[in-house]
A = this chain, B = another copy of it.
């Protein structure tokens, strides 16, 4: 049995423990939802305030140069790129994940239409985050392509033994937002390439959560989210990466002035910037990029302590501890681990199912009530509703999601979270949880 003292001892031995001081966490809260919205870095309020008061208020229009606003997408992009295996100049921070996915899928589709026009299928995962599927669906509609949604094992089969000859793009999120299941980027990219397809990766739940090596994997395009493990703040700008072998080949259709080779000559006639610059579109969102920059700082603070490798090691230790505690103390309460038990196949989150879900008499799952009651008791995770079986696969269970950000979570937090969950279930208190209408942005 794991004791709280065991956890306190591990915290005492944790070389990354001081990184927690970088964040402003509310007193008494155990925040296991950093996979949805990262916590506030301590440096952010002052940096944003300076951007507002001094740079905007005093500098006014002059700050586009004097404060370096105009190069923020490249500067922040490079620092994110360093976390995901991109070289300097390969990554920019801009727009939203959805918009960036549209850019890279459009770019990928141009390459495929030029090189192998008979390929007209985008393959993705049925449980991929819906906005990715919606964007791909829209593009397929316009191109006359189709979007094929498969379970992970079926994707491998779809790309093997010559069955992938019609596949244009394999579009995957590296870490599944529901289950936390982690794809092997290098292997899946190699499989896509062997089938003649391009590999587009969404790093929403992996950038800042685990080591990613885009160049090492030979990926084609990638996008990712700024407000989860990068701690960039609500609705932070996203990022976009293109492998240099593709970056300069086609321009993407959101050909706004910031992607122009010389935006300040104000000439009609679009001339795309070299490389990743052409994946920019409109005017940089300075205040949001400033906050994102502070978020990215919190990860680079680990550079001298082993960087993403050390963070991943702690993340795995945290999720292993959580799983062990759930097995020990929560199995009898109806909980089961819905995430892969092999840490090599798991991101920085653990999802649980609760067996009583189906016994609910009021049409609501107990999972929802449990998560609400936990939040009221200071353990902030989240709930993702299941779905009935459909054309793409079997029914999906309701999920209780717990994200483990190694930058600010302690082993005692993991212990206390489970402790509060156990107490809640043993007392039946969760049945009184308020059913606030609640939607959370993953």
A residues contacting B by CB (< 8 A) are 24, 26, 29, 31, 33, 36-37, 39-40, 44-45, 48-49, 52-53, 55-58, 60-65, 69-70, 95-99, 102, 126, 128-131, 133-135, 137-139, 142, 149, 227, 233-238, 251, 253-260, 263-270, 281-289, 291, 375, 380, 382, 384-385, 387, 390, 392, 436-441
Extra inter-chain contacts (18) besides given A52-B291, A98-B281, A287-B287, CB under 8 Å: A33-B61, A48-B287, A60-B380, A61-B441, A63-B234, A64-B441, A65-B438, A69-B441, A95-B282, A131-B256, A133-B270, A134-B259, A135-B254, A235-B284, A237-B285, A263-B439, A283-B441, A288-B288
Task: Give the distance in Å from the alpha carbon of A375 to the alpha carbon of B64 in the complex.
Answer: 14
CB atoms of A98 and B37 under 8 A apart: no
Given contacts A235-B283, A286-B234, contact A256 B61 (CB under 8 A): no
CB atoms of A98 and B56 under 8 A apart: no
Q: Which of A56, A126, A134 has the most CB of B within 10 A?
A: A134
Q: Which of A36, A52, A234, A235 has the most CB of B within 10 A?
A: A234
Task: Give the distance in Å from the alpha carbon of A89 to the alpha carbon of B261 in the complex.
Answer: 38
Chain B residue, CB-CB nearest to A234 = B286
Partner of A48, one of B48, B97, B267, B437: B48
Q: Identify whether the interface residues of A are mostly helix, strand, loop, or mixed.
A: mixed
CB atoms of A69 and B264 under 8 A apart: no
Task: Give the distance in Å from the alpha carbon of A68 to the alpha carbon of B194 in the complex.
Answer: 47
CB atoms of B96 and A283 under 8 A apart: yes
Task: Give the distance in Å from the alpha carbon of A331 to the alpha carbon of B99 in the complex.
Answer: 49
Given contacts A134-B260, A253-B142, A281-B96, contact A52 B45 (CB under 8 A): yes
Partner of A64, one of B263, B288, B439: B439
Chain B residue, CB-CB nearest to A264 = B439
Given contacts A138-B253, A268-B392, contact A40 B61 (CB under 8 A): no
- Shortest CB distance A279–B (Å): 13
- Shortest CB distance A73–B (Å): 10
Task: Give the distance in Å from the alpha carbon of A400 to the alpha carbon of B98 in the complex.
Answer: 39
List, in ascending order, chain B residues with CB within 8 A of A40's CB.
Answer: 52-53, 56-57
List, in ascending order, chain B residues with CB within 8 A of A62's CB.
Answer: 375, 380
Task: Give the distance in Å from the alpha carbon of A56 to the alpha carbon of B441 in the complex.
Answer: 13
Chain B residue, CB-CB nearest to A58 = B26
List, in ascending order, chain B residues with CB within 8 A of A227's CB.
Answer: 283
CB atoms of B97 and A283 under 8 A apart: yes
Partner of A24, one of B57, B268, B438: B57
The 8 A-B residue pairs with the shortest CB-CB distance, nearest first, are A96-B282, A98-B256, A131-B257, A234-B286, A40-B57, A98-B282, A138-B255, A134-B270
- Shortest CB distance A283–B (Å): 5
List, in ascending order, chain B residues with CB within 8 A of A131's CB.
Answer: 256-258, 282
Task: Give the distance in Å from the alpha carbon of A29 to the alpha carbon of B58 in the complex.
Answer: 9
List, in ascending order, chain B residues with CB within 8 A of A283's CB.
Answer: 96-98, 227, 234-235, 441
CB atoms of A137 and B255 under 8 A apart: yes
List, in ascending order, chain B residues with CB within 8 A of A234's CB.
Answer: 55-56, 63-64, 69, 283-287
Partner of A235, one of B257, B287, B387, B437: B287
Q: Which of A62, A133, A257, A439 has the most CB of B within 10 A?
A: A257
CB atoms of A266 and B233 under 8 A apart: no
List, in ascending order, chain B residues with CB within 8 A of A380's CB.
Answer: 60-62
List, in ascending order, chain B residues with CB within 8 A of A139's CB.
Answer: 253
Task: Give the distance in Å from the alpha carbon of A436 to the alpha carbon of B62 in the complex.
Answer: 11
List, in ascending order, chain B residues with CB within 8 A of A270's CB.
Answer: 133-134, 137-138
- Shortest CB distance A149–B (Å): 6
Q: Which of A64, A253, A268 has the most CB of B within 10 A?
A: A268
Task: Give the distance in Å from the alpha carbon of A129 to the alpha carbon of B282 in the complex.
Answer: 12
List, in ascending order, chain B residues with CB within 8 A of A36's CB.
Answer: 61
Task: Give the distance in Å from the alpha carbon of A436 to the alpha carbon of B63 in the complex.
Answer: 13
List, in ascending order, chain B residues with CB within 8 A of A56's CB.
Answer: 37, 40, 233-234
List, in ascending order, chain B residues with CB within 8 A of A436's CB.
Answer: 65
